[in-house]
Amino acid sequence: MSIWFTEELHPYYRKSLHVRRILADEQTEFQHLQVIETEYFGNALVLDGIIQLTEQDNMGYHEMIVHVPMLAVGAPRRVLIVGGGDGGSLRQVLRYPQVEQVVVCELDRRVVDLSRQYFPNFGDPWADPRATLLVRDAFGYLEENPGQFDVIISDTTDPIGMAERLFSDEFYRLMVRALAPGGAAATQCEQPYFDTALIKSIYQSACALSKNPAYYYAQIPTYPGGGIGFMYVSDTPWTNGLKTPYPPGGNEYLNPEVHRAAFALPEFFRKELYG
């Protein structure tokens, strides 16, 4: 019998992946967590029925959310990842030899445990002595650490349930407050076709908090609409990153042409966002 995993985020749009088998399926304290083995995209992490990553196309998400702010800062030493319990963003941050500490603030420990088990291609970045895992809510941690981080990466789920707070004015204010002078942040910031109003609201918040905010975009086939966007928030221009060499280890998605092109927006969306 053919089994398909179907994700329906909107009443007018759904997508499906062919499933070979279910590797894990449990209700944690916070969410319904599944790992499924799919026909083409390999293992996929699913939270509350929404795909978070797959082995095949996660590089577009993780390389873009991490390297754009990291390269803009140039030589970041302290990095905070909000969410990111799968370890994909952590893996990319640790490619920078100048990084001294990476704090990952993840609410659900089971995301970390199952990702370590089922996504071995990430190479277990948790074993790196520079990595610190804090199993707690990010809001309190941000409040306790003003001006501490050169880069903050908000690697979160969609704005549903508890995660809605991570797309609020309050969160962005705390995040910017936690940046060191010259620091930069990048956040998961949804999809231009389906989430235009939310992105516009977040961009307005980012404009009030920083001098050089910008929205950028990556292609990830297993996300709604085939891609995902990010909000860059900093007083430091993102274009600084075009002058910084990539860290050791090869990229699978990002190159200088993609880096620059990611900030070029379709006209309908550019008008909505920038006016």
Cα separation of the two ends of the chain: 51
Sign of CA dihedral 110, 114, 119, 124: positive
**Measuring CA to CA, how many Å separate 112 from each of 31, 39, 168, 221?**
13, 24, 25, 24
Question: Which residues does 29 contact at the CB level (< 8 Å), separation at least 6?
Answer: 108
Residue 53: closest CA among 161, 185, 204, 155: 155
Residue 212 in 3-state DSSP?
A: coil
Centre a 10 Å sphere on the Cβ of residue 163 and count the other Cβ atoms it contains.
Answer: 18
Within 13 Å of residue 70, how many CA atoms lie on the same side as its CB?
27
Q: Which of 126, 75, 69 is nearest to 103 (CA)?
A: 126
The catalytic residue positions are: 155
- 264 Cβ contact list (under 8 Å, min separation 6): none
Which residues, including other chains, have CB under 8 Å from residue 98's CB and lie 6 or more apart? 75, 76, 77
**Euclidean distance between CA atoms 15 and 247, whole angstroms:** 35
Residue recorded with tokens 């304290």: 29
Q: Do 212 and 237 touch, CB atoms closer than 8 A?
A: yes
Beta bridge partners of 133: 104
